[in-house]
Structure 1
Amino acid sequence: MATALSLSTLSDMPDGVAVPGYARSDLSAGILHFGIGNFHRAHQATYLDRLFATGEGQDWAILGAGVMEGDRKARAVLQAQDWLTTLVEQEATHSRARVIGSMVGYLEPGDAAAITAALADPAIRIVSLTITEGGYFLDSSDRFDPTHPAIQADASTPDAPGTVFGLILAGLRLRREKGFAPFTVMSCDNIPHNGRITRNALIGLAELSDPALAAWIAENISFPNGMVDRITPATSDRERGMLESDFGVRDGWPVFCEAFTQWVLEDDFPSGRPPLEKVGVQFVPDVSPYELMKIRILNGGHAVIAYPAGLLDIHFVHEAMEHPLIRAFLAKIEHDEIIPGVPPVPDTDLGAYYDLIASRFSNPKIGDTVRRLCLDGSNRQPKFIVPSIADSLARNGSVTGLALESALWCRYCYGTSESGAEIAPNDPNWDRLTRIAKAARDDPGTWLGMEEVYGATGRDARFASAFSEALEALWSDGTEAVLTSYIDGRL
């Protein structure tokens, strides 16, 4: 019979399940975190758990907070198990389970008074976020959108905030009134320049209701940029069942993830920080080279394998990597067209980094889906693929593979796989994309006319010609034949 996770059962955990190497009673909160989800618990919370086990930094435990309705259910599940989480790290040949204990509480979601009071507590020296890209209120150009209804609501009633940024402003306002030092605001979301994005959102909201506070924030608050990486699928009954059957633990919300993890962070914490460098965090003056490497090679690589796999009705990412044509397509496009445009990264071999990425994509234990990789192409393509196209054009390099990747995305958005199966809507702009993809079957240039995706790159004659040839070949010959032509150098 499985052991239910709680503080009282830690000593009864089955053999092979690691438990916190410290007493929870020795911890105190120093970080208030918005967005207690799977990635946060697999990443930031896990690094802190490792640090606490060394006997250091134990005044930097996590106090959770949230504003979404779904946060209430998450809080209830975690509260029932004393804020503990079982983390299962999965490699191809074996898995490891450990209990993470770095979170010491979770404020009632939506309780603005309680959250504001916690933010004003001088013991809180870092406020961190994993609220997904949508939580930053960005427009189509990735700029802060002050017209968003939720932002307008917080601007008109700053004493009754409903967004994360409204709550942070309320906490900072109270801290300033009391003469307490400000905290650092640290985004842990997988967004390029996440510190700058966070700064723009917080100051942008403040300018709408309290320009003096906005100026004070600009002068006094630090927003370090960070690059985060760990493949962490959503939890389902599959994972809960695997935890019980494989490890003998019953956890209402376990986290399954890959063994690999990386966190590169700018060292800009005026109010102090935990010594996370002792557990593997890389502190650097500028995170930009690491961000660019990950965006181009990893995120761009995801896009490369996603659409041919989707068109071939492949379900899991590791199954896509088992397909010899998709794996070879990824390798050729990375080495010939993507990696040559990535500037040098300190202490990093880009070829070895790609080999690591390919190995991670191939992990059969993760259960990451092709459909997830295909999601939201209208937002991801201009970030992860189009910049590589522009760079390759600028250095007069090949764009044949990148044009084929774009054509595969277009063909996917037509709405049917090669077997004739319907592809369910998989983008916020799906209806529009499908309409344009159908028009592009006869006029490929229609697809490149999406200015918000391709910009000037879509008007480049060399890229447009390569795209048209690839799309026409996909319709006439099919995905596998076209991949073969590209790999053999005949496309």
Structure 2
Amino acid sequence: MENNIKINQKNLAEIANRITCPTYNRSAIKTGIVHVGIGGFHRAHEAFYTDELLQNESNTDWGICGVALLDFDTKIYNTLKEQDGLYTLIVKELDGTLTKRVIGSIVEYLFAPENPVKVIEKMASTDVKIITLTITEGGYNYSEAIGGFDFDNPLIQHDLENSQAPKTIFGYLTQALKLRQERGLQGVTIQSCDNIQGNGHMTKKMLLSYVQKAAPQLVSWIEKNVSFPNSMVDRITPATSPIDISNLLKTSGIDDAWPVVCEPFKQWVIEDDFIAGRPAWENVGAQFVEDVVPFELMKLGLLNAGHSVLGILGDLIGYATIDESVNNKEVRAFLTNYMNIEVTPILEGLEGVDLDAYKQSLLQRFGNIYIKDQIDRICSESSAKFPIFILPTVNAQLKRNGSVEFASFVVAAWAIYSLGKNENGQPLLIKDAMKAILNEKAIAAQENPALFLEIATVFGKLKDSEKFVNAYTKAYKNIVKYGVEKCIADINSAI
């Protein structure tokens, strides 16, 4: 398309002639939410819901200040700064059509490494009622081995010694809450939007662990003045590709350096525990409930674990995207059996949820050929994901003396994956904070498969379960001997 136009506030009226744009006055919006971690998922989910609300409501108190926390986040910060916080959300519908709209709810943006004090002051601002987080599973600094906060993390050590120039979320939150206490300000809600069971409980537990060491006088104030609602979030948001950027330019003439692509499905279930007020997100599709736990367990055990199953098995076979993996008949049957036999029996309390319909919808979503969710994205940081997505199912099944055949097979496949090559001998792109130790244990596992289970920060005490170790060892040897596809076909045919 000719007449390409750069996305920014000045050009918004012209862009509105081409695609849907915010109709509210962005300059009149106050920042009521600070969000840490302004990646694709936040921009397809919370920022989307908030944009919908600002479009439909007269309340102007709930703009978002996006905080880029890490040096790694320089690019997204610079992009949002150049585009006045605006970006295009591209929804890839199941029939291949693209629904495009500009999102305007991020009205401020800060780069923490450049000016940590400014971020701390913003979090302590009287207008800010909620601090939300998407910092990934690993960002909570939880160690499976000790069942608590990892004080050996060098970044945590840095924050304890450099309180005014922190590098982790815990350093920032502690200093901001300290300012609120010292200034006699009201409390704030800290809301996790990450895929962690009991994400609110986890956030509170990890923050208080840090505060007890960094600023013990703050603990009782936090207990009284800060709420930590649990929430369950869901929307598949693959990494934006150069093709997505050029297609937007070609079809709409919109020059957006970092649009976000996502699926049409979205879900947000939130515990209604906001100490300083909240947006009426329920008016735009979010669901407020008393207890999020059953919904979390359903989503983590079925969707997130399902992603990991498809990712690890698909990568070993040689696939590049999740849709390729799930559209393999045997992989699809294996995942279906895993969901039905091992996950479903441990789910309860899901009133009003049709589990069979939910599982069918997952297969449909995974199979969306237009999403092209890259397997290496899904497999990234598996060492943080397995303890949250898959191992709770294993432990629950061991407790009830149920099946662990499918989960143990996936763990065995992960051990072989961690050697760094697929079954065709091609190198795998492994992105994991624990890549070196995973590889070291994977090499040792070639002689004795059970050695991979000795990574206590991931597996806890699972190596002590004879039932699991036997199932895992059998699966490992079979994969080495016959390959993934033959093994899963045999497991499926035995059902």
- Residues 473/121 of structure 1: CA separation in 2 closer, same or farther (3 Å cut): closer
1:207 CA displacement = 2.4
1:283 to 272, 275, 288: 288
Alignment of 1:63 with 2:65, yes or no, is: yes
Quote the Cα distance in structure 1 between the aligned partners of 2:436 and 2:116: 38
Q: Name whichever of 418-427 and 308-317 sits farther off.
A: 418-427
1: distance between equivalents of 2:419 and 2:465? Answer: 24
Match of 2:451 in 1: 446
Over the matched positions of the two proteins, sequence identity in percent amounts to 37
Of 38, 41, 44, which aligns to 1:42? 44
Inter-partner Cα distance in structure 2 for 1:480 and 1:209: 51
CA pair 449-111 structure 1, distance change in 2 beyond 3 A: closer
Question: Secondary structure of 1:8's partner?
Answer: coil
In 1, the alpha carbon distance for the partners of 2:177 and 2:228 equals: 14
**What's 2:102 paired with?**
99
Question: Matches of residues 414-429 of structure 1 in structure 2 within 5 Å?
Answer: 414-429=419-434
Query: Could you tell me whether the CA contact under 8 Å between 2:19 and 2:102 is conserved in 1?
Result: yes
Aligned 1:155-194 pairs, distance under 5 A:
155-194=160-199
User: CA offsets per residue over residues 155-183 of structure 1, 9 Å max, x none?
Assistant: 33434444333333333222223322122
- The equivalent of 1:472 in structure 2 is 477
- 1:51 to 1:481, Cα distance in 2 relative to 1, 3 A: same
Q: Structure 2 vs 1, CA of residues 378 and 350 (structure 1 numbering), >3 Å: closer, same or farther?
A: same
Match of 2:163, SS state, is coil
- Tell me whether 48-57 or 72-81 shows the greater mean CA deviation: 72-81
What residue is the counterpart of 2:86 in the other structure?
84
Alpha-carbon offset, residue 77 of structure 1: 1.8
Equivalent residues of 1:14, 1:247 under 8 A apart: no
Say whether the 8 Å CA contact 2:297–2:347 is kept in structure 1.
Answer: yes
Q: Which residue of 1 aligns with 2:121?
A: 117
Question: Secondary structure of 1:107's partner?
Answer: strand
1:381/1:294 Cα in 2 relative to 1: closer, same or farther (>3 Å)?
same
CA contact (8 A) 2:40 2:237 kept: yes
Name whichever of 276-285 and 418-427 sits farther off. 418-427
Alpha-carbon separation, structure 1, partners of 2:82 and 2:452: 51
In structure 1, the gaps of 5 or more residues are none
Structure 1 residue 387: Cα displacement: 2.2
Letter in 1 for 2:139: G
Note the residue ranges of structure 2 that are not aligned, 5 or more in a row: none
**Structure 2 length-normalised TM:** 0.92
Pick which of 358-367 and 270-279 moved more: 358-367
Q: 1:451 to 1:395 in 2, by over 3 A?
A: same
Match of 1:197 among 197, 202, 205: 202
Q: State the Cα deviation string for residues 209-257 of structure 1 (Å, max 9, x = none).
A: 4322222112221111111111112223222112112332111111111
Deviations 1:328-355 (A, max 9, x none): 1111121122212222323212221111
Partner of 1:255: 260
1:196 touches 1:225 (CA, 8 Å); kept in 2? yes
Matches within 5 A, 1:335-414: 335-414=340-419
| Alpha carbons of structure 1 residues 383 and 35: separation in structure 2 relative to 1, 3 Å | closer
Q: Whole-Å Cα distance in 1 between the matches of residues 142 and 460 of structure 2?
A: 18
Cα displacement (A) at 1:455: 4.2
In structure 2, relative to structure 1, the CA distance for the partners of 1:365 and 1:116 (3 Å cut) is: same
Q: Tell me the secondary structure at the aligned position of residue 216 of structure 1.
A: helix
RMSD: 2.3
- 2:53 matched to which residue of 1? 51
**Cα displacement (A) at 1:24:** 1.6
The number of equivalent residue pairs is 490
Q: Does 1:133 align with 2:137?
A: yes
Shift of 1:456: 4.4
Aligned counterparts, 1:4-23, within 5 A: 4-13=6-15, 17-23=19-25
CA–CA distance in 2 between the matches of 1:208 and 1:253?
39
Aligned-pair CA distance for 1:140? 4.0
SS in 1 for 2:194: coil
Distance 1:19 1:87 in 2: 10
- Cα distance in 1 for residues equivalent to 2:223 and 2:406: 43
